Structures are given as structure tokens and as C-alpha cells.
A and B are shown apart, each in its own frame.
Chain A
Amino acid sequence: MGISWLLPGLLGLPWVGAAVVALWGERPRLRLRADHLACAFAAVSWLPLLLMLGQVKGSDTTLFRAPWIPTVGINLALRLDALSLPLVVNVLAVSLLALWYGLGYLRDKPRLHVCNALLLAFMGSMLGTLLADDALLFLVFWEGMLVASSLLIGGWGEGENRGRITLKYFLYTQIGSLLLLVALARLVGLAGSSDLSVIAAKASELPREEVRWIAALMVIGFCVKLAVFPVHAWLPDAHSVAPMPVTVMLAAAMLSMGAYGILRFPLVVLHGQGFEALQLPLMILALVSQVYGALMALASHDIKRIVAYSSVSQMGYVVFALASLNPQGMGGAVFHVLSHGILKALLFMGVGLVMHATGRRQLEELGGLYRTMPGVMAGLSIGAIAIAGLPPFCGFHSEWLIFTGGIASRYPVLGYIEVLIPLLTAGYAVWFAIRLALGTSPKGILPHPDLPAMSWPFYVLVILALVVGIFPAPVYAWVMDAAALLLPGGGL
């Protein structure tokens, strides 16, 4: 276990960047705009992580501690271990690509510097959630994500309803956060300290009954964030109304915070006590969520909404894998978070390119785009195929792990059903791509001049999907290390 000052560096860079970009303001005559500055900060944030990569292998962790409120024992504690590493990489990559994409997409929006500062703050909050080793610090950053994303959706979203939708998003997510607050308050009260390492060490001494309901509350709270079936209603509206870079970050990175929460708190910190009782309901709910998301994606008209509903379905895969409670399932969940990050960002960016180019969002008004935007259509088709789990793209490996985990779990029947769900995914995803690409072109479609610049991050993602699909070894290694942490006696 190494102590490293790079950790606060990693966490602090986006926040410093946010402050700098906010104060940079609007300088029309300078060639360096606020959003370029923001991209630079997002890129530079990779440095501390790359420098720390060697230190986080297997069960090694990197820690950092500084006192904050000594009287109550709350510390500024950060940790980077095998569990948070893949997710940190996910957040960094998605944020960088989203900001890059935003260079073209958000260019004409007002108060650009505030928007980019908030995007960096959003990124910083997500990093803080992943790196926090103290319950209160975790909650601070958890709410910070919510506040930053709400401000972004409310301030720069599209559509007249955005005020109401922001409120709905805030309230819905807050329900989960409040449940989480109660659970963590009880846990901290029982263990006497809010430091996660201390709580984990004491976890076996805590009374079983209490731990069971604490775990249940936590899981429910995180499931709200994961947009699992009954509590998913915030997701389609929020994702459709948000500006595209924000949607990319919401879907590709923020949703996985719920998965991280379930992995970290009930499973690692509490060593999985109280989780077995939740296994069957979670698996069934996950299956329902997958099917429901697919059906709703079929039924939607707005192209952004279709991709948003597909997120509901994909998060169902993640929850299913988490609930299977074996190493392949856990590894599959983390892998799927990563591959979903790549693919969902790809799909949303593609949809954004279509919207930017044609000015339309309704599926009935689009079609035959392969003639005017062949590259984007090819990329979207690749995204659709990949999300359905076909090789040689990244989705295949994560789905293989999920299947293996499902069949090895206590309820293999559910695993058999799970094998059939990608058929539904293939159905709506490929249908969506076909409807966009083929057919007769409606009138009046002219490509937007900015399109080439905005397409770069999109193509990077396509290549990334292919590369991770063909060479999954590094990601496999990360993911299996993370899963090893979850075995009893391992890690924390």
C-alpha cells in the first residue's frame, strides 16, 4: 500500500480547472477559448493516473489521508485500488471525449465558460466519488455530481420543459441519496468512524440485523442511480433534454457510479453480508429492467430517447451481473461498465451528429442518411452491433463474462433467460441503425459545416470499441483484479 500525493492531484486537477475556466470568462479575441482550456485540463488530469498505474495492481492500493474535522473523526481520505481503477479510467476517458465533442457541439451556447467549468466540476465530482475513502466525503461528492449535472441540464438543456425535468431529475436522484444518507449515517454510527477502511475492519463485528437493512437501503439507493426498472423514470427525460456532452457524461460515466456504489459499499466494505437475501429480487428486477428498456426503446420516437432507454436496458445487465455474486459476474459487471461507457458515448455522439447535421430528432423525419453521412452511419451501425454483443467489439467480452456469471450463480435458470436478452438488444439497436441509415431521405437535409471537427471523438470511440474488442487482455486483467477484491478475505 503506497501513500501518494498524486491522488489529491488527480482529484484536484478538474476542480482547479473548473475554477480557472470559470474565472477565464469570455474573451472573444483570444484564440484560447474557455472550452479549449477545459479540454486541456481534462487531458492533463490523466497524468497523475498514468503515473500511479504501476502502483495499483492486484490487491495493492494507494492511499492518501488528511484530517478534516478531527473532533468527529472525519478525514479527507482518498483511495485508489483495483476496484476504482477501471472506473476512474472510464470517467477520465469519457469526460475528455465529451469535452472534446463539446468543442463543436456547444460552441454557440451562451456563457460557455460557466458551462465548461461545470462540466469539469461534474468530472471532478465523479472522480471524488470514486476516490473517496470516507463516507461523508463520498456523500459530498455524490451530491456534487447531482448539483453539477442539474445545473448543466437546467442551464443549457434543450427544450422548454427543462426546468420541470431538472426538478424531477433532482428529486428522483435525491430519493436515492437520502436512503443512502440514512444507511451511511447508521453505519458510521455503529462503527464509530466514517473512514471506510475502519468500517471494513469492523464489519464482521457489527450486528447482523442492522447490517442487513443497511445493505438493503444502500442497494436501493444505488439502484435509483442505476435507473433500474421501477425507479428509472428520471433517466429518459434527463438524458433527452441535456446537452449532448452532458448526456454523454451522464450515460457513460455517471450511471456507473451506482454500480461502483454497490460494489464498494455492500460488497467490499460490508463483505457482502446481507446481500445474499437481495440476490434473487435484484436478478429478477434486472431482467425486467433489461426487457423494459428494450421495449421502451422500440416504442420511442425521439432518437435521443431511444438511446437513453437503451441505457436502462444496459444497466440491467450490470445489475444482473452484480447480483450473481461470483467473480466472473463481478468482473463482467465492471467490464460492462467500461464497454457500455465506450458504446453509449459512441451512440450518443452519433445521434448528436445526426441531430446537428439535420436539425431533427424524430425518427419519422429521418432516414436514408447513409448517402449524406456514410461515416457516421457506419459508426452508428458498429455501435448498434457492438451493443448487441457481437464480436469483434468490446461488448462481446463483457457479455460473455455476464453469461458465465449468471449461469454459475445460484439461479442458473435466470442465466439461461439472460442469454436470450441480447436478442432484444440486437432487435432495437440494429432496427434503430437501419431506420436511420436506410430508406428514402426526407427533404431538406444538409450536413452542418462543423461536422468534421465534431466527428473526431466519435471515430476515436469506434476505434476504441474495436481495439478493446480485439485486445481485451489489459481490461480483462483490471477487471479480474477488481473481482478478486470482492472475494471474501481479499482486498480491503
Chain B
Amino acid sequence: MHVLDFLVIGSVACGVAMLFMGRRPKMVADAARIVSIGLALLSLSLLWHAGDQPALTWHYLPDGEPARLILSSLGRYLVICAFLALAVGQMGLAASHHNASRFWQPGLAYLLCGLVVVALTVDQFLARYIVLDLAALGTLAFLALGRSRSGKGFRLLSRLMQFRLGDSGLMLMILLLYRASGTFHIDTMLDQIVTLPSVERVLVVGGGLLAVWVKMGLPPFQGWLADSEALSWPERLLIIGLGLPLLGGYLLYRLGPPLVAANGRAVLVVLGVLVLGWSLLQLLWNKSKLTWLLAGHSAIGLLLAGTPWMQFFLLTFFLRLVVLAFWSRQPRLAAIPRVNRGRRFPLPIPLPSAPPEPIMEPANASRASVTDPLVANPGGRSAAGVDASAERDREYSDGGLIGTLLSAARYVAAYVEQGAIQDIEGGLVKALLSASRCAANWVEQGVLGKAEHLLVDLVHRVGRWLQAGHTGRLRLYLLWASAGVVVLLIATVAVHGW
């Protein structure tokens, strides 16, 4: 059996086993540490296994080709990087927590590592999609099970939606390429990009880039990177160093050549420059510098996509590990940028008879009394807005042209970060909620309910009208009937002289 197979099976099996051994956190932590070092050393042996291919196959679709793990030259290094991250992370975990409530961390980390390795090496796109989804789920699990904070629920939902958005893009890409090529083999599928008609090509490329964007945490999807700053450094290392950004970068690496072949270089360069510039700007002003540092690094990847330099870019992910290992050993709750304080969204939609809930609530209302802690208070926003504007004013007053330009740039950055992006997200949510409200009140009760009532009312009305026509009219009807008969008889007699 190839070393890669062993690595994958080993990490997945260890992960599952550790998740079930929650009762002995200390033993788990020690075992995790030792095994991870072992696996990392074993992964180094991949450097010498250039030729043979792994034997592990996976039949996940009954009548399709099985998925295989293919080890390319770049892939070797990335796999080694992954296991290295795992080892460093495990040592960090073991050092900082022996907490029973955190027993799941080692196991989850192993699972994540196994998934990442499979995602880097599997040759079938659908299998890769599945594994990417699982990795995203794993990342979310880390984010969810981290320290609790108010508003966590909504934030978690927002991150999940972003991941799903990216994956929808990837799914669209896979669907269209599958239809064009008839196979799930990645190389074959990617070669089809140039043969597609223009609309579909745009959809494919757009979908793929969207997936890359979300996974690498490029703006405006950098929120999950920022969330990870609330975690401890080993956890952060695992999900940023080991997880989705690496996969996103690899996806970009695979997507680059076909994109360039389809005359997309200009798009990549423009996007890369924009993102890089933005990241630099945010680095100057924003407090969560790590996020923007990583985003900037990823932007460089955008610039290099499709060129031979992309491989070197991916190798710089080793550097990321180093940075993440040494960046701020303390989780900085206070460092959460104010951008992550959401607004109060009244959910579910209050019924029309009930008085609408107040949208605004003062920032210093006690958190405990809020039964709906999943919504953060917008008073915080207004307070933050006040602070930010005060800050802006202060900085504005610094003298000099460079100073003015810089502070203007910071102002724009702050506005976009705090205002526009939040506004977009909030706007989307608001639109969704209004649509919900519209559906509930207008369509369901208004149109359908009214139609029902109208029908039933109509029937009752007709019934009442008939009933009124029935009662007390016998004499009248008999009179009319008799009159009719008499007229008929007279007519008969008159006409025929009987």
C-alpha cells in the first residue's frame, strides 16, 4: 500500500477513534501529539515516492468510475505541509488545553487533515466537491464549537451560507463540465472549458472563482477568517493553515491554466490587483491584521494564477504556517472588528396583529434578558459608528498631504468595511425577510386565505338568499301558479272554442 493511502486512512481512522474516546482527554491529547509527529515524519517520505501511484480507490457512484488519489509533484509538498500543520497544531493543543470539554479538538483536526489530503489528491471532481464540503463542515464545526459569544448563531449561519454559496458555484462548474465531457475526471473536465459556448464558459469560470474566493477568504468573504481570530492559535492554525485556504489555493492553481487559455488572464490580474490593494489598505487601518495579511497573500495567488510561479506561491503556504504559529498566542476577543457585530433582525416575522418588535435597542441592555441572543444589537453599531467617526475626525485632523490621503483611504476603507459590506449582507437578509413577510402576510393570508373565505362566504350567501326565498312564500307561489294555470286554461278555451 502506498504511503499516501496509509496517511489518509491513518488520519481519518485516528480522528474517528479520538472522537469516540472523549472520556480520556489527557490520553487522547498525548496520543494525538505522538501520532501526529509520526504521520508528519511519514509524510516526509513522500518526497522520495515520485513514481508510483496510490492504490486507494473509492466507488462512491455505483455505475461510475471509481475515484483515485493521484500524487503530483506539487501535491507532495502540500500534503507534507498539511501534516506539518497537523503536528504543530496538535502540539499546541496539547500544550494549552487539557479540558474535557475540548476533547473533540484533536479528533476533528485529524479528520480535517485526512479530508484535506484527499481533496488535494483525488482525481474526480465530484469526489473532490464532496470532500471540500466536508472540510467546510469541519471548519464550521471548529468555529461553532469555539468559545461562545453573543450573536454566534447568526454569525455561524452567515458563514455557512457563504460556504454554501461558494460550493454552489463549484457545483455549477462541475455540472456544466460534466455535461460537456461526460466524465468526472478533473483534467478532462478542465480541458473542456475552452470548448464551451460563451455563456456557459462564464458560468463555469465564475462558479469556480466564486468557490476560490470563499475558500481563500478574499474580501468580501473574509469574515470567517476574522472569526477564527477568536480561537486559540492551534485551532486557528488548523483551520487556516491546514484547511480551506490551502484547498482554495490548489483549486486556483488547477483552474488557472484553463482560465488563461480562455483569455481570462486580464480578469485575474485586475481582480488580483484590486484585492491586493484593498488588503494593503485594510492592513493599515483594520485591527484584525492577520485576516488582511492572509487575504493579501491570497491576492498574490490570484495574480500568479495560470503562470508557472503559481507552484511557488502554493509552496509559500509553509510560510503561512510559520506566521500562524507565531502570531499572537492569545485569542483576542477584543480584536474582533466591529464589522462582525450584526444587526437585530426580527425573526421570525412578527404577525400583523402583534406589535412589531423594536428594531433598535440600546447597546447597554443586559444580554441575559434578551431571549433572542442570536441577534446582536444595532445600538452597538451606532455606538461603533460614533466611535469610528470620532476616530476618523481625530485622524483627519493630522496634517500633511500624505496624512490626509492616508486618512481619506482609511475613511473609505472603514466606510466600506463597516458600512457597505454590512449593508449588503444586511440588505440581503432584509430582502429575504421582507419576502418572507410578504409571503406570509400577503400571499398566504391575503390571497389564498381571502380566496378561501370568499368562496365559503359566497356559498353561504347563496344559501341564505335561497333560504329567504323559501320561507313564507307558499301562498304567493301558489297564487302565481294558480294564476298561470288559469291563464293557460282561458287561452286554451279561447283559442280552440272548447
Contacts and interface: CB of A to CB of B under 8 A. Distances in A.
Nearest to B132: A391
B130 interface: yes
A296 interface: yes
Main secondary structure of the interface of B (DSSP, over half): helix
B97 to A, nearest CB: 20
Interface in A406-436: 407-408, 415-416, 419-420, 422-423, 426-427, 430-431, 434-435
Given A296-B444, A299-B440, A434 B168 contact: no
Interface stretch (A129-137, A342-350, A470-478): A470-478
Contacts of A233: 444, 448-449, 452
Contacts of A477: 62
A440 B62 contact: no
A172 B350 CA distance: 28
Contact of B439 (A296, A385, A419): A296
Interface stretch (B173-181, B278-286, B417-425): B173-181
A472 B440 CA distance: 37
A438 B152 contact: yes
Given A292-B439, A298-B348, A390-B133, A423 B164 contact: yes
B133 A391 contact: yes
Contacts of B457: none
Contacts of A168: 452
B293 interface: no
Nearest to A421: B168
A419 B168 contact: yes
A350 to B, nearest CB: 18
B21 interface: no
A299 B437 contact: yes
Interface string A63-93: 0000000000000000000000000000000
Contact of B171 (A385, A392, A403): A403
A367 to B, nearest CB: 7
B436 A298 contact: yes
A368 B14 CA distance: 31
Given A299-B436, A367-B371, A416-B172, A392 B153 contact: no
Interface string B89-129: 00000000000000000000000000000000000001000
A37 to B, nearest CB: 38
B24 interface: no
Contact of B175 (A299, A388, A391, A404): A404
A391 B436 contact: no
Interface residues of B, number: 50
A241 to B, nearest CB: 16
A423 B161 contact: yes
A168 B176 CA distance: 44
Contacts of B172: 416, 419
Contacts of A367: 371-373
B493 interface: no
A298 B347 contact: yes
B130 A434 contact: no
B153 A296 contact: no
B349 interface: yes
Interface in A472-486: 472-473, 476-477, 480
Given A392-B130, A419-B172, A423-B164, A435 B153 contact: yes
A416 B202 CA distance: 13
B374 to A, nearest CB: 6
A322 to B, nearest CB: 19
B203 A416 contact: yes
Interface in B420-468: 432-433, 435-440, 443-444, 448-449, 452
B153 A423 contact: no
Given A404-B175, A434-B374, A295 B168 contact: no
Given A299-B436, A407-B176, A419-B171, A434 B448 contact: no
Given A299-B437, A427-B161, A434-B156, A439 B347 contact: no
Nearest to A384: B160
A431 B349 CA distance: 14
A442 interface: yes
Contacts of B171: 403, 419
A442 B372 CA distance: 10
Contacts of A431: 157, 347
B164 A472 contact: no
Contact of B371 (A416, A438, A440): A440
Nearest to B437: A299
Contact of B348 (A301, A415, A419, A430): A301
A430 B162 CA distance: 13
B47 interface: no
B365 interface: no
Between A388, A390, A480, the greatest number of chain B beta carbons within 10 A of the residue's beta carbon is seen for A390
Given A300-B440, A400-B126, A431-B157, A439 B448 contact: no
Contacts of A396: 130, 133
Q: What 10 A-B pairs come out closest when comparing CB atoms?
A: A299-B440, A299-B436, A295-B439, A473-B62, A434-B153, A298-B436, A391-B130, A299-B349, A295-B436, A438-B153
12 contacts: A295-B440, A296-B440, A299-B437, A364-B348, A390-B137, A391-B134, A407-B175, A407-B176, A430-B160, A434-B157, A435-B153, A440-B373
Given A427-B157, A440-B371, A476-B61, 15 more contacts: A295-B438, A298-B348, A298-B433, A300-B348, A301-B348, A391-B130, A400-B126, A403-B175, A404-B179, A419-B171, A420-B168, A427-B432, A431-B157, A438-B374, A440-B368
